[in-house]
Amino acid sequence: MDFRESAKKLHQKIIDWRRDLHRIPETGVDTPRTEAYVCAELDKMGIPYRKGLGRHGVAAFLEGKNKKTVFAVRADMDGLPIREETGLPFASENGNMHACGHDAHAAMGLGTAKLLSDVKDQLEGSVLFIFQPGEEGCPDGPGGAKRMLDDGAFDDPVPAAMVGLHTGCIWKDFVPGEIGYRSGGIMACMDRFEILVKGKGSHGAYPHGSIDTISITGQLISELQTIVSREIDPLEPAVVSLGEVHAGTAFNIIPGECRITGTVRALNQETREFLARRIEEIASGVASSMRGSIEFKYGWEGPAPVMNDPAMTEELKLAAAKIVGEGKVREIARPSMGGEDIAFFLEKAPGTFFFLPGCNEGKGQTWPHHNSKFDIDEDVLWIGPAVMATMAFDWLKKQA
């Protein structure tokens, strides 16, 4: 099936979807307007769905000849609590912003659904479309992917394969019109840890009466940086970064507690587990050697490394070559230490997560993700649906 021309004909509609969604960005899993918009468009296509998964996620099921053989397409759809400064005529109306391209992802998810629904009589299997909130995280617990899975998004039937994409400017050596792929680890885990250093407060004039949590924390910060520099293979990507240090109420009081939070990034589960273990061991050892103690929390509920299945990545390459040409399908040389909670879905179904470059320097689209001036090149929006529809259609045909 050749989806190239049908995707081009649908291009303006995909742009319209993206602009409509761009005006109404919602954050976390609290995305009722976005959910309602997606459901209304699915109604027009005649695709049944379940809504309210993970609070406001949508799982739509396009039934083909075989209901039990299922290919999944995932599109995230939440925004960020950023006030937009793009000056676009369709800029956000509510104080939030689609500053990471999820408006485009949702629009391309709808585009893929439309392309495949138009040929559903020729589909050898079925397609599950996941429209996910909360990819950017949630302050009150796990992100949207895990919440949707907990609510049964991948249940009955379970998808046997899947695909997802990210647009924007994550990998700088790509230009719009190309496709970036990578087998194996493509993005890192996205873990949060917290260390509460506990000691004994005292007047600043009498430090000998304290167990100084500021001193303990200073030593601890230095020691934590040796994990990556001295305990991890230099060729193995790993990050331990501290983002918050909170202690004290006055200039002349030695505080009895100090709280540190940070993030861990790794590209495989073994390194992830090693970093978590060593952070706790070092923190406990440093604190006890200085007469203090710690309480340690590690956020295992965060997404694991994003692991692309080799076989499914090959399927992606074949589909992408049909749409943009083999010369524009390029391997991503270096993975990103950013995280993505599609990892939860990829743990359940083998799949691949690919890159659709969407920032055009010639159009002034040079601002990074999560910036108030971030924007994408709408000229590429037809490519994502064409590639994903081709991959789904061809893979299902091979399973028949």
Peptide bond into 157 cis (omega under 30): yes
Phi, psi of 141 (to 5 degrees): 145, -160
Which of 279, 287, 190, 189 is closest to 232 using CA atoms?
Answer: 279
**Both tokens assigned to 371:** 């910036």
Sheet of strand 179-181: strand arrangement: 49-53, 57-62, 126-132, 70-76, 161-168, 351-357, 179-181, 329-331
**Both tokens assigned to 167:** 């647009």
Which of 156, 171, 23 is closest to 89 using CA atoms?
Answer: 23
**CB–CB of 102/46 below 8 Å?**
no
**Both tokens assigned to 312:** 């499914």
Q: Is 168 left (phi over 0), alpha (psi -120 to 50) or beta?
A: left
Determine which one of 78, 103, 212, 309 is catalytic: 78
Sign of CA dihedral 337, 340, 343, 349: negative
The three-class DSSP label of residue 98 is coil
Contacts of 337 (CB under 8 A, 6+ apart): 187, 188, 237, 239, 265, 267
User: What does the alpha-carbon distance between residue 7 and residue 110 come to, in Å, rounded to a whole number?
Assistant: 12
Phi, psi of 278 (to 5 degrees): -70, -35
Query: Is 121 known to be catalytic?
Result: no
User: What does the alpha-carbon distance between residue 286 and residue 359 come to, in Å, rounded to a whole number?
Assistant: 46
User: What does the alpha-carbon distance between residue 72 and residue 344 come to, in Å, rounded to a whole number?
Assistant: 13
The three-class DSSP label of residue 304 is coil
Residue type, 222: S
Determine which one of 41, 135, 178, 377 is catalytic: 135
Residue type, 376: I
Q: Is 184 left (phi over 0), alpha (psi -120 to 50) or beta?
A: left
C-alpha to C-alpha distances, 280 to 254, 291, 297, 337, nearest whole angstrom? 24, 16, 9, 22
Query: Is 270 known to be catalytic?
Result: no
Instruction: State the catalytic residues.
Output: 78, 135
